[in-house]
Structure 1
Amino acid sequence: MGNYENNAFFWQKIDTLVFSSKFVLSRKQGEQHPEYKNLIYPVDYGHYVDLAADTNEGGIAVFRGSEKSSMVKTAVIAADILQKEIDVKLLVGCTKAEEDLILRFLNQTDFQKTILVRRGNEIPEWGLTD
């Protein structure tokens, strides 16, 4: 599996962010991307925004699958050379089949490629605080 090291404390922080936010739907499953009409969203897509914020702009990008769970089990890290950015998107309530569809959706062009990071329970030595 390569040199990836998980950190359970990272996922705890993700849980805190998710549970202190509200989900705002941007695109429903089956809708076209606003700029790239050949890209069709495989699941609902939106953002978690701060419950206390006055605006629904920005936030944490989220793909929401068909499962009723609100636990984040995976995240996708995307390198986008058109936007010149590294972007993180959380996958919530997604089945393995939906994860595959999301990865295919995000990797359709040569301008963006992604990796999938699965939740783990390990705590590496460097993850501990005093």
Structure 2
Amino acid sequence: MYDEAFWQLLTTLVGSSTINIDRPRGTAHPRYPDVIYPLDYGYLSGTTSGDGDGIDAWLGSQPERRINAILITVDLTKRDSEIKLLIGCTSQEQQTILAFHNRSANQSAILVERPARI
């Protein structure tokens, strides 16, 4: 019951927001040039996350803009924790994004996949 409400609210939020891709696939991080984004990465316009910026979103290759999963991240360097939405991502893309966020000792993430029935 609660799972359905959570995923439906996220779906409504994404459906009523513009996804701004400010770090396209294959580009380098603005402060860390050796960190290359494996997929399109950006944020939802008009939203606010814990860091005061828009809610982060990864955009996969699937044409349907369905939220497939979220990442819950912890970053000791920035001293924060966030969620990141995975939208239109295949299973392989989800694992690629998870590995991207687990690449350093100061940063880690867990993947929470959306149940198939919701």
Tell which structure's C-alpha radius of gyration is larger.
Answer: 1
Matched, 1:110 2:105: yes
CA distance in 2, matches of 1:25, 1:58: 14
CA contact (8 A) 1:20 1:50 kept: no
The total of aligned residue pairs comes to 112
Give me the CA root mean square deviation: 1.8
Matched, 1:59 2:54: yes
CA contact (8 A) 1:63 1:92 kept: yes
Gaps of 5+ in 1: 1-5, 52-56, 123-130
Gaps of 5+ in 2: none
What secondary structure, in the 3-state scheme, does the structure 2 residue paired with 1:50 have? coil
2:114 aligned to which of 105, 119, 125: 119
- Displacement of 1:39 in angstroms is 1.2
The ranges of structure 1 where at least 4 consecutive aligned residues each deviate by more than 3 angstroms after the TM superposition are none
- Displacement of 1:50 in angstroms is 2.4
- Displacement of 1:25 in angstroms is 1.1
- Displacement of 1:58 in angstroms is 2.3
Q: Aligned letter for 2:27?
A: E
Q: Which structure 2 residues correspond to residues 80-99 of structure 1 after superposition, within 5 A? A: 80-99=75-94
Residue 101 of structure 1: aligned partner: 96
CA distance in 2, matches of 1:95, 1:29: 15
**Identical pairs, percent:** 37
Superimposed CA distance per residue, residues 41-92 of structure 1 (whole angstroms, 9 cap, x where no aligned partner)? 01000111129xxxxx821100001111111010000011111111110000
Matched, 1:45 2:41: yes
